[in-house]
Amino acid sequence: MAAEQSATDYIVHHLTHAGLVPKTGAIFNFSNMHLDTFWVALALGFLFAGLFGYVARKATSGVPGRLQNFVELIVEMVDTQIKDAFHGKSRVIGPLALTIFVWVFLMNAMDFLPVDLLPAIAQAIGYYGFGHDPHHVYLRVVPTADVNQTFALSLSVLIIIIGFSIKAKGLLGWFKELLTAPFHAEGLGMQIVLGPVNLAFQIIELLAKPISLSLRLFGNMYAGELIFILIALLPWWINWVLGTPWAIFHILVVTLQAFVFMMLTIVYLSMAVEDH
């Protein structure tokens, strides 16, 4: 494909999401919905749930197989991080942290597939199955390189943070904390004066968490995806020389970003259940 298109067209094509084609005269325009992000992320979510569910059902107390060993290693790693960072008690935090780590890792790991593999398959299906022009068939396979996906994940974490805080302190206790922290004051008068300031700082802190979570993950994965696309434009021997070391290094990036997203979620939830 790189040989048939200019470098600019090739890059633009690979960075264009698959969306709904807008209908003439339609009231609502859903062309900005990134269907590739949605379906790839959903499929990987089912893959995670199915694989771990299968291992849980087939788990044995005897000599475990390689797959059970691998899953237990991941579960123990997550459990260790929770014990070190989360200071409250919750039955939700374990499954939540495990889901975040594995799901984000799987979405990041789609970057390891050859750049043209799945897009070429999508183009072939679009052309032979539906008669579409291959140049107008798009597919991006790394959901976390889409800022919409990373923001959706981080906003979900924000909702859970607020829920944990309300559960631990009560609704009135949470509202009181919004108005009395981080600046504490003696006397009703000073509390009223500092209330708006505290509320502003609390809102900034709440908003900073999902923004930092989402942009950190998106920035790293988008950069990685773009580098793989640029390497694919080079001659095959340079592609191999540069692509292999970058893929090996990217294993660390993919794993680290999933781990960081999980750890920050655990830390934020731990802060949510603590009293100032």
Q: What DSSP string runs through 192-258? A: HHHHHHHHHHHHHHHHHHHHHHHHHHHHHHHHHHHHHHHHHTS-HHHHHHHHHHHHHHHHHHHHHHH
8-state DSSP, 183: S
For the chain, helix (H) and strand (E) counts, in that order, are 9, 0
Query: What are residue 145's phi and psi, to 5 degrees?
Result: -85, 5
Least confident stretch, 29-33, 143-147, 252-256: 29-33
Asked about 214 being catalytic, the answer comes back as no
From 61, 212, 214, 270, the catalytic residue = 212
Return the pLDDT at 155. Answer: 96
Q: What is the pLDDT of residues 65-96, one digit of tens each?
A: 899 999 999 999 999 999 999 988 889 999 99
- The CA distances from residue 3 to 6, 7, 242, 244, 273, in Å, are 8, 9, 19, 21, 56
Does residue 2 surpass a pLDDT of 50? Answer: no
Contact indicator for 101, 262 with CB cutoff of 8 Å: yes
Return the pLDDT at 26. Answer: 52
Return the pLDDT at 1. Answer: 46
**pTM for the predicted model, two decimal places:** 0.91
Between 153 and 181, whose confidence is greater? 153
Return the pLDDT at 28. Answer: 57
In this structure, what is the dihedral angle of CA atoms 197, 199, 201, 202, given to the nearest 10 degrees? 160
The phi-psi region of residue 271 (left if phi > 0; otherwise alpha if psi is between -120 and 50; otherwise beta) is alpha
Letter string b/e over residues 198-228, b meaning 16 or more CB atoms within 10 A of that residue's CB: beeebeeebeebbeebbebbbebbbebbeeb
From 148, 156, 216, 239, the catalytic residue = 216
* Fold annotation for 35-49+64-165+218-273: Four Helix Bundle (Hemerythrin (Met), subunit A) (1.20.120)
Return the pLDDT at 239. Answer: 83
Return the pLDDT at 136. Answer: 87
Asked about 220 being catalytic, the answer comes back as yes
Does residue 200 surpass a pLDDT of 70? Answer: yes
Return the pLDDT at 33. Answer: 83
From 108, 154, 214, 220, the catalytic residue = 220
Q: What is the pLDDT of residues 114-153, one digit of tens each?
A: 999 999 999 999 989 988 888 889 999 999 999 999 999 9
Q: How far apart are the first and last CA of the chain?
A: 58
Least confident stretch, 156-160, 181-185, 208-212: 181-185
